[in-house]
Chain A
Amino acid sequence: MATNASNTADNAVGTQRVKRGMAEQLKNGVIMDVVTPEQAKIAEDAGAVAVMALERVPADIRKDGGVARMSDPDMIDGIVEAVSIPVMAKVRIGHLVEAQVLEHLGVDFIDESEVLTPADEAHHIDKWAFTVPFVCGATNLGEALRRIAEGAAMIRSKGEAGTGNVVEATRHMRSIRAEIRRLGTLDEAELFGAAKELRAPYEIVKEVATLGKLPVPLFSAGGVATPADAALMRQLGAESVFVGSGIFKSGDPAKRADAIVQATLHYEDPGVIARVSRGLGEAMVGINLDDLKDSERYAGRGW
């Protein structure tokens, strides 16, 4: 990487604007889970706007069981080397040292993720303490605003990762958006009450009520397996889509990745979605959520 002529005392790194600004640059795109440099290349060639580097995709984490942790630094380095687009990677909820390691490795974004086994049952990471931006999952508005208060620069739905079933992501997107709309109808006094109910700082609640949206980008993740799933998330208000197991657990990953990129972009055009949905081969099998035990559900992780 080129050294710069500019890192003087006057130039501020890791500011709120620099972190949220990075999240804004990823909008209208698709972020794909990859476990090898080869997969990362396929994702990049298909038009992914970033890749999420991890050791096992959520579907395999489910299958294998055990404690799921941050990836091996060699594996992260391999993916950073393989692609030119931004690289994200996951840390366990509350595991600040895994986050310090990823920041040291130079990843562009950290996902404090419920897909990995939580390391802290009460606290998330203080994300203001980092230069690298963070994305966190949320199932509802209160959770989203608590994560933003802790310094998250992007919020995503949690969905039920690794199932190929989009129903949970739909629930989270609808819940977050509906609660934002409701805030817009409240008067000043009621906003204080809402902050209490949401267990979130009043200042952020007030900001969301005024803006009519989160102060950071809202993306969707969890269970997206088809182009139509991706377009559904966009129509429900997601500004971009994360695709986890859905691509590399399918029959023809390169073709499916390209189709999901197109559907995410042309999410309001059923003609495009129909065209790119043809002949994609096997989608990932998928799991009916009623078949999951509570201990196997990821969306409930996070506090």
Chain B
Amino acid sequence: MNRRVRPFLTARPTIGVLALQGDVAEHLHVLEQMDVRTAKVLGPDQLDTVDALVIPGGESTTMSKLAVRYGLLEPLRKRVGAGMPAYGTCAGMIMLADRLLGGIDGQETIGGIDMTVRRNAFGRQTESFEAAVPVEGVGEEPFDAVFIRAPWVESVGPEVTVLGRVPGPDEAGRIVAVRQGGLMATSFHPELTGDARIHRLFVDIVKGHA
């Protein structure tokens, strides 16, 4: 695994949640139970003050449009490119993908993870589902994963570690959790279920412990 993340000097890093749209409060709520400071990130100034970033679930096309319109996309690319740890759920996974399928014309992503993500791959809302997904690095117990109009990862580059796949009889199952150095993404929403293991793993990554 690529471990370029530098340990931070601060014992209590500030983890921001990108607040352009989506379930921001749920991520803040999980992070507030950990030994970190939290902040909402609405603009470039706030982005400068955080050590790491969570990109929440929501509507990825809206999030992307607003990031461009409010001048956040380039600052986000710069920070992620410079090694800021980031974790994206659902729409956040799309934002961290180097390549996107099923997006709208001109949909921009921040990028950072060498993967191809297919938007809404599991279908519309009536096809949204819950499933038990084993996730590497957070213990034996499978994760009770909630998928909402969710994307999947169609392919990954050599630097990317696959942490989880949807169970099922077909093929080997679709990839729904990945890590590349300090960057992590899941198709599903740990912030909705009260299981904090993936957020804890991210905090460990931010602190240079994982």
Contact = CB atoms under 8 A, between A and B. Distances in A.
A71 interface: no
Given A2-B102, A106-B124, A108-B124, A24 B132 contact: no
Contacts of B166: 5-6, 11
A13 B124 contact: no
B61 A85 contact: yes
Chain B contact patch, size range: 35 or more
A49 B124 contact: no
B57 to A, nearest CB: 5
Given A4-B121, A5-B174, A25 B129 contact: no
Interface in B109-151: 118, 120-132, 146-149
B204 interface: no
B22 interface: yes
A4 B122 contact: yes
A106 B149 CA distance: 12
Contacts of A29: 21-22, 58-59, 62
A53 B173 CA distance: 35
B69 A47 contact: yes
B126 A132 contact: yes
A26 B58 CA distance: 6
A106 B58 contact: no
Interface string A3-22: 01111101111110110111
A224 B19 CA distance: 23
B76 interface: no
A85 B174 contact: no
Nearest to B57: A25
Nearest to A14: B126
Contacts of B148: 18, 21-22, 25
Nearest to A8: B168
A235 interface: no
B188 to A, nearest CB: 9
A158 B26 CA distance: 26
Nearest to A46: B65
Contacts of B146: 17-18, 21
Nearest to A13: B129
Contact of A133 (B25, B62, B125, B174): B125
A266 interface: yes
Given A12-B131, A25-B148, A48-B62, 7 more contacts: A2-B121, A6-B129, A6-B131, A6-B167, A18-B148, A24-B57, A86-B59
19 contacts: A2-B118, A4-B123, A4-B174, A6-B168, A6-B174, A10-B167, A13-B129, A21-B146, A22-B149, A25-B23, A25-B149, A28-B19, A47-B69, A49-B58, A84-B61, A85-B59, A85-B62, A86-B59, A86-B125
Considering the complex of A and B, which 4 residue pairs feature the smallest CB-CB distances, nearest first?
A108-B125, A5-B170, A24-B23, A11-B129
